[in-house]
Amino acid sequence: MIKLVKQYGWNPVSARRDHHNFKHDESRFIVTIIHPQKDVPVGRSADTMKKIKLEKK
């Protein structure tokens, strides 16, 4: 998930333990990705994808 967020132009702002925060120049959101975690819950990944403006394929 972190690689995906970085590919779409989100820059790391801060990290505390396993929580990594990303900010995009054109967005008002700060996206928090929890890492390392084997399985990301569907609701959390859908919310993150919505915030970074990804569409489902």
Three-state DSSP class for 9? coil
Q: Express each pLDDT in 25-53 by its tens digit.
A: 988 888 888 876 677 777 777 877 787 77
Q: Express each pLDDT in 5-29 by its tens digit.
A: 898 899 999 999 989 999 999 888 8
Hey, how many other C-beta atoms are within 10 angstroms of the C-beta on 43?
A: 8
pTM to 2 decimal places: 0.71
